[in-house]
Structure 1
Amino acid sequence: MPDPPGATTPGAPGSGPPGPPGAAGGSGWSLRDRIGSVEILAALLVLLVIFRAPLAGALSAAQLQTWTTVFVSVMVQAVPFLVFGVLLSAVIAVFVPRSFWARALPRHPALAVPVASAAGVVLPGCECGSVPIAGSLIRRGVTPAAALAFLLAAPAINPIVLTATAVAFPANPEMVLGRALASLVVAMVMGWLWLRLGRADWIRLPHRPDLDGVSRGRAFWAAVRHDVTHAGGFLVLGAMAAASINVLVPERWLQTLADNPVLSVLALAVLAVLLSICSEADAFVAASLSQFSLTSRLVFLVVGPMVDLKLISMQAGVFGRRFAFRFAPTTFVVATLVAVAVGAILW
């Protein structure tokens, strides 16, 4: 007679009392559950103690000391602007009603684009915060052209970013004017291009219930933690990349690129996309690339806050892949051309 459903045969897998903790099929902890960030940090500390002698010798190398100096200098200058910008961005995103932006913009789409671009000055944050805010504006009824213009302008013309640029380029104050002017023009051009060529079905806005029903205090700290984790991580990677470029790439290679006006512009435009540095910190990385002309570094500062790897992925998540794969390449071309034109006027 066959056993009833769910019965087990003695000696078969799964029969008998639960095994000891850690055994297969038991209810105890598993290795995956026990290994976390604390355990990984402890393991790294143990390895540092074991290999302290060879590490001490490696740290004395001249190239590594140069790398450390560049990395630390970029981080020390950039972190205060990053933290301050994240805090203010969270305040605006959480405590300012989203409907305010819809009421503040003109009803005519063509007029709303420049107003939304200029309104970016009131968002002292990085591009990580502008993407979800632009999605919220569209949900609130703001024309997509104006929301996208705000998305592009806010990370580049807000006071935190412009102040950081002035600090990073004390001998070239015109860099602040060039960055603000070029970024504002690019934002307006892209907004008007969307009015002319954009299609509503390219934008797909998913529902974001993560902060629904959450108190303002919890939403504020959630926004701060999210922005610090993401923007701070990309800042570290960008500082590491900048230090590595200064140390590992032969000086003659950089000089060859820097001496060619076309190659220098293209190289720093592509580098801005790959590094994905927060807009509150990218000026310090650009200042460290002293081999390149001011125009090519202006291209770096204009392209970076509008088109980079993290932004493309965020735009694909908020607006959909069809939108991101059309909007990002177009923005890259327009930003590069406008920055070169502004640089030609200033220098």
Structure 2
Amino acid sequence: MDKLATAWAIFQGLLLEAIPFLLLGVAIAGLARWAVPPGAWIERLPKNPLLAPIIGALMGFALPACECGNVPVARRLLASGAPMGTAFGFLFAAPVLNPIVLASTWAAFPDQPWLLVARPLGAFLLSILLSLLLVQLPETQLLATALLEERRMSQPLSNLGLLQRSSGVIGGSPSPPRSMRGRRLKGWQVLDQSCREFLDLLALLVLGCVIAALVQTWLPRSWLLAVGGAPTASILALMLLAVVVSVCSSVDAFLALGFAAQITPGALLAFLLLGPVVDLKLAGLFTVLMRPRAILITAIGASLGVLLIGQWINLWLL
């Protein structure tokens, strides 16, 4: 009963911490859907494989949302026809490259200037790496089915054939009239779409929080912190801890402050880099964006990238 009570307390904490940011992300996506006519600015985004994720990552500076809030915004970018590199660059970098997270990292570690530089720089490099990795997959193998159909409907016929676009000629939903492109949606339409999107994402978030709470309860942190002094083992342990704890990036620096003295610098940075990209709470949310294979590639790529960054930091500082 004690463990169930602990799991319930952890579940409530994770959910209450994440809901405001999820709501903020849905609100930002809905506001963009209403204020900016479809296609008005998407076509101006660079399509260069390297420049696209860089622009997407830099967009994170303007949005004060953690990883939960970035999912609906990234989905809106993809559904609107934005370059995949831009959307994924934003998805993976914005949880760290935003004002709230940068300020919280500085507040938690004002006496470690290297971390104030290494965390945003590491997040930026990791987002570029993951974006370049994912865009190698065809859209049909990368994007979730519903998102893929919505994305195709937003693209002109010059980019896609009728069969690809699933137009009204060969089954599926009819394509919207060309006159609808560039027309602003009505407020009630945006509100209805945003409410449904929030409820769908909330259900997935609840599932992720349940899994994270159960795993965190039966896998005590003391087991992972016991190897804090070993250069490589400490990094691997803190990466696993970041996945299990599933705390939002806006407060993870204060959590890390509690055990920072027990672990290596590379392990500390690994904890602060991997959690915003891959954790149990995000597993369900990512299903509205990517197929299972793409999610697995993201998890493996992020883990290897963070491990290499952590090892380099330990070689530099130890």
Give the TM-score category using the shorter length. Answer: 0.5 to 0.7
- Pick one of 96, 117, 142 that aligns with 2:32: 96
Note if contact 2:61-2:98 (Cα within 8 Å) is conserved in structure 1.
Answer: yes
Note if contact 2:239-2:274 (Cα within 8 Å) is conserved in structure 1.
Answer: yes
Q: Which residue of 1 aligns with 2:61?
A: 121
Instruction: Return the TM-score normalized by structure 1.
Output: 0.63
Q: Which residue of 1 aligns with 2:143?
A: 204
Q: What is the alpha-carbon distance in structure 2 between the residues aligned to residue 165 and residue 226 of structure 1? A: 31
- Tell me the secondary structure at the aligned position of residue 155 of structure 1: coil
User: 1:224 and 1:141, CA in 2 relative to 1: closer, same or farther beyond 3 A?
Assistant: closer
- Pick one of 257, 260, 265 that aligns with 2:230: 260
- Tell me the secondary structure at the aligned position of residue 259 of structure 1: coil
Note if contact 1:89-1:129 (Cα within 8 Å) is conserved in structure 2.
Answer: yes
The 5-angstrom pairing of residues 75-94 of structure 1 reads 85=21, 88-94=24-30
- Tell me the secondary structure at the aligned position of residue 96 of structure 2: helix
User: 1:91 and 1:314, CA in 2 relative to 1: closer, same or farther beyond 3 A?
Assistant: closer
Q: Which residue of 1 aligns with 2:150?
A: none
Q: Which residue of 2 aligns with 1:8?
A: none
Does residue 294 of structure 2 align to residue 323 of structure 1? yes
User: 1:94 and 1:134, CA in 2 relative to 1: closer, same or farther beyond 3 A?
Assistant: same
Note if contact 1:135-1:318 (Cα within 8 Å) is conserved in structure 2.
Answer: yes
Q: Which residue of 2 aligns with 1:295?
A: 266
The unaligned stretches of length 5 or more in structure 2 are 148-184
Q: How far apart are 1:303 and its partner, in Å?
A: 0.4
Q: What is the alpha-carbon distance in structure 2 between the residues aligned to residue 243 and residue 173 of structure 1? A: 34
Note the aligned Cα RMSD (angstroms): 4.1
Q: Give percent identity, aligned residues only.
A: 28
**Structure number with larger C-alpha Rg:** 1
Q: Which residue of 2 aligns with 1:25?
A: none
Q: Which residue of 2 aligns with 1:30?
A: none
Note if contact 2:208-2:283 (Cα within 8 Å) is conserved in structure 1.
Answer: no
Does residue 250 of structure 2 align to residue 280 of structure 1? yes
Q: What is the alpha-carbon distance in structure 2 between the residues aligned to residue 171 and residue 84 of structure 1? A: 30
Q: How far apart are 1:170 and its partner, in Å?
A: 3.0
Note if contact 2:26-2:73 (Cα within 8 Å) is conserved in structure 1.
Answer: no
Note if contact 1:85-1:126 (Cα within 8 Å) is conserved in structure 2.
Answer: yes
Q: What is the alpha-carbon distance in structure 1 between the residues aligned to residue 106 and residue 16 of structure 2? A: 14
- Pick one of 124, 128, 135 that aligns with 1:188: 128
Note if contact 1:235-1:277 (Cα within 8 Å) is conserved in structure 2.
Answer: no
The unaligned stretches of length 5 or more in structure 1 are 1-57, 59-66
Q: Which residue of 1 aligns with 2:177?
A: none
Instruction: Return the TM-score normalized by structure 2.
Output: 0.68
- Matched letter for residue 293 of structure 2: R
Q: How far apart are 1:226 and its partner, in Å?
A: 8.0
- Matched letter for residue 104 of structure 2: A
* Count, aligned residues: 273
Q: What is the alpha-carbon distance in structure 2 between the residues aligned to residue 314 and residue 229 of structure 1? A: 9
Note if contact 1:239-1:285 (Cα within 8 Å) is conserved in structure 2.
Answer: no
- Pick one of 312, 320, 345 that aligns with 2:283: 312
Q: What is the alpha-carbon distance in structure 1 between the residues aligned to residue 203 and residue 288 of structure 2? A: 18
Q: Which residue of 1 aligns with 2:52?
A: 112
Q: What is the alpha-carbon distance in structure 1 between the residues aligned to residue 17 and residue 275 of structure 2? A: 17
